[in-house]
A and B are shown apart, each in its own frame.
Chain A
Amino acid sequence: MTIVEVRDAHKRFRNTRALDGVHLMIQSGEILGIAGPNGAGKSTLTRALSGEERLDSGEILIDGEVLPESRIGELVAVVHQEPQVWLNLTVAQNLMVGNEDTRFGLPSTTQDQHRVLERIGIDHLSDTLLGECSLAVRQRVEIARALVRDARVILFDEPNSALTDEESASLFEFMHELANSGHVIALITHRLAELVTHCGRVVVIRDGRVATELSGEALTETAIASELVAGETKGGGHKKKAHVAMVDEESLVLTNKWSDAQGSFRDVALKVAPREIVAIVGVEGSGGREIVSALGGMRPSHGEVRVAGMTNENDRTSKIAYLSANRTEMLYHNLTVADNLVARLGNPKIANKFGLLRRRNIRTTAVQAVNQYSVRTDGVEQMLTSLSGGNQQKVAIAAAMISNPSLLLVEEPTRGVDVGSKREIYQMLREYADEGRAVIAFCTEAPEAYELADSVIVVQRGLCLETLKPIAFPDVQSFASALAELELIDVAEHSSSNSAVSNASITSNERTDLA
């Protein structure tokens, strides 16, 4: 019997409170679900629980004892979305790293390690290079490493976002088995259906606190969904009323029978009018993110795509600006705010025809952008790193807007951004679209899609499931519930082409599969 208890945990990063008094108790035998919107403090809590992060105040007790971080690290293991293992070693060698059992000789697998591999069902792969194994096997190896060092607590952090259905099913089966054998198990995921199916109890974390705990009858997807968005847009209806695009206007973006080269999405037919903001919503691995990045020319795809009348890929890309979800991929930390803002420009905006820089133009362009988008800075000649995260995000979006594309593509426009900046970023995108251009955003959070978009396309398993109009919902809660219910729909019933599709996705998966 093991009990993990978190008492009044606080943790601050610069100006944000990541954890603001979390109380939590997990017992062996149960699977505790942890849900929360992005930035609510889930990952900080995970890191604190596994001893990777020191709390500012509060304590973590394991069986009633406060342990030093190194000991916590031994007892608590995290199974990551992307397993932290060695692809250049074999499965068996992966278990040995750090547990070599010899000081000078060549380490070899111990009896214990063999038993763990057997228990986990991957002993037949023990001499295979992990780099040649599927993601599911890599994840099992991470679990096996935890078992070898006798970890009592195992936290699963979005473990199945990239697994096939069979692989997830067997992962969950194993998760239950671990719980039954006395381990403390927590599951952190965005997939509400899985929380309801596999967890006895679900806590919803919001703004660094445990907002609510659901169990028994009260534990339903719609309940979690409305808890997740509570506190956002308090009771407010959809603010934008008149933003219905003109029907007779020619579409700015049109796709037909458009598919990803690696199968992440299939047969996508998009139709986006000028002045329209479309949100693409889907969990990780649904293909929603891939639709946006493929449209931005960041991954190969085939089919018919027309943007602002251009079908040829090269002409098309000149009309599009793309922003990835990862802020560090979009900004230059070695440059000033002004230089970041103009980095996508060239001749004639910031240089003359001989390639000479026009410093004065850079400055005026930057000052204008900083004022227009209310980027809070002490001057455009400051280094980018002196800005707060929200303002850096505004700079990244403004830099894309300055290059004046007809279509702006944004992945998770407000990831890791405070509430105030969120509003301003939605405003920026709305004003940009209002000038006759279009914005397509990939969103993972219902409130964001609700507040930002004119229409919301729900993507599941690579297929566009349904289009929702936020304006038709009285408040964000009802919108979030509608999204959650869509998640329940089995794609197989929804689309006739699915049987061929799911076969393809299984065979195209890695060559080594689970026994």
Chain B
Amino acid sequence: MVSDTAKRQGRSRRGLALNQLRTAGLVLAIILSGLVFQSQTSAFLSSVNLLTLLRAMSSLGIMAFAQMLVILLGEIDLSVGAVYGLAATTVAVLWLGGGALPFHVPLILALALAFLVAILIGAANAFLTSVVKIPSFIATLGFLSLAQGSELLLSNASTFNPAYNNPLPSAGELRFFHLLGGAQLPLGIPIQVAWLAAMLGLFWFLRHRTLFGFRLVAIGGNPMAAQIGRLPIRRYKFVVFILASVMAALAGILDFSYVGSVGPNSGGSLVFPVIAAVVIGGASLNGGWGTIPGTLLGAMLLAVLANGLALLGVGAFAQLLFVGFVTIGAVTLDRVTRQLANKRSSRASQ
């Protein structure tokens, strides 16, 4: 009995250690790659560059937090990149006129409508997944294409630039729109970093401190048990898919505001890094496992690599290779350590 207790304690402590090991490994990887970049180019660790890095990862981070909740449920949302682009384009076309629309509306209304579109797409994804019971991979793949197509049709594939638009929007609207994503806070902190921090807080709270987060983990961990225990599975799917779409729209609009213009097919390449960040952060695509701090670190590792490689002048194409290697490498490492730990614990219990 005594040895039995000791064994059990050992096993679960090892499980805990594994979790911390993963977090520690991610922090280490971030620090190491930072040091490597610093040794190559002293610009990396400057405060200006670090703020740039954080700003550049903000849209990735915001989208990854919401995607993590989707993945926690055992689902996936592939449409977020397309929704990112569609939301920005919807704001541009509705507000500035042009594109396929013969009229235009005030900025506030355009923003509201863009978010409404995002909510509808999220709800449709959830409906197809939880009511019609189509796998979310397929449902959201369909909406990826639908959103991309709508964006191109709506905008006639043209680029929008509020500051040089004809007719020019009112100065107040222009200023407000610029402040959304392009403003500088005191100490030279970009406002997008503040958005990232706010969403980090919001999603951390949702995931780790509320009944909602608790039940997400339960539903994702064992949908059958959740059904037997009568948890509101369908409602949760709706909330989570809508959150994913709304966060994608927010990220798209903030980037539009920061860059000052939006062109066709923006955001199309974001799906992969968003999912990669979640998975590198330790979430399981089978559902039931995933944390917000992990996701933040996953996004940060990708951001550090993108920033450092850009500083080294490696070029965007080679960067793609790195992101691919890191994603596969991180997940492989995770799987191997987990198998080792399992093997050790089963040997110990024999």
Contact = CB atoms under 8 A, between A and B. Distances in A.
B221 A356 contact: no
B137 interface: no
B100 to A, nearest CB: 42
Interface in B269-302: 288-289
Interface stretch (A28-36, A92-100, A322-330): A322-330
A376 to B, nearest CB: 9
Given A298-B228, A344-B230, A378-B8, A335 B209 contact: no
A336 to B, nearest CB: 9
Interface string A351-387: 1000111000000000000000000001000110111
A399 B218 CA distance: 13
Q: Range of interface residues on chain B? A: 20 to 34
Interface in B332-349: 349
Interface residues of A, number: 33
Contacts of B221: 332-335
Interface stretch (B9-17, B84-92, B147-155, B252-260): B9-17
A317 B217 CA distance: 24
A334 B228 contact: no
Contacts of B215: 343
B204 to A, nearest CB: 13
A14 B349 contact: yes
B289 to A, nearest CB: 6
Contact of A356 (B8, B210, B222, B225): B210
B225 A343 contact: yes
A331 B8 contact: no
A445 B243 CA distance: 49
A418 to B, nearest CB: 13
B178 to A, nearest CB: 35
A415 to B, nearest CB: 15
Contact of B228 (A324, A355, A356): A324
A454 interface: no
Contacts of B172: none
Contacts of A382: 8, 12
Contact of B211 (A14, A317, A333, A355): A355
Interface string B219-244: 01110111011110000000000000
A350 interface: yes
A387 B7 CA distance: 11
B231 to A, nearest CB: 8
Chain A interface mostly: loop
A231 interface: no
A334 B221 CA distance: 6
Contacts of B9: 378, 386
Contact of B225 (A329, A347, A386): A329
A356 B209 contact: yes
Interface in B18-55: none
B15 A317 contact: no
B176 interface: no
Given A382-B8, A386-B12, A331 B225 contact: yes
B214 A332 contact: no
B5 interface: yes
Interface in B300-350: 349-350
Contacts of A335: 217-218, 221
A328 B228 CA distance: 12
B212 interface: yes
Max chain A Cβ within 10 angstroms of own Cβ: one of B5, B217, B218, B350: B218
Interface of A: 14, 296, 298, 317, 322-324, 328-335, 339, 343-344, 346-347, 350-351, 355-357, 378, 382-383, 385-387, 399, 403
26 contacts: A296-B228, A329-B222, A329-B224, A329-B225, A332-B222, A333-B222, A334-B217, A334-B221, A339-B214, A339-B218, A343-B225, A343-B226, A343-B231, A344-B230, A344-B231, A347-B211, A355-B212, A357-B211, A378-B9, A382-B12, A385-B11, A385-B15, A386-B11, A386-B12, A386-B15, A403-B229
Given A330-B228, A385-B15, A386-B9, 5 more contacts: A329-B224, A332-B217, A333-B222, A334-B222, A386-B8
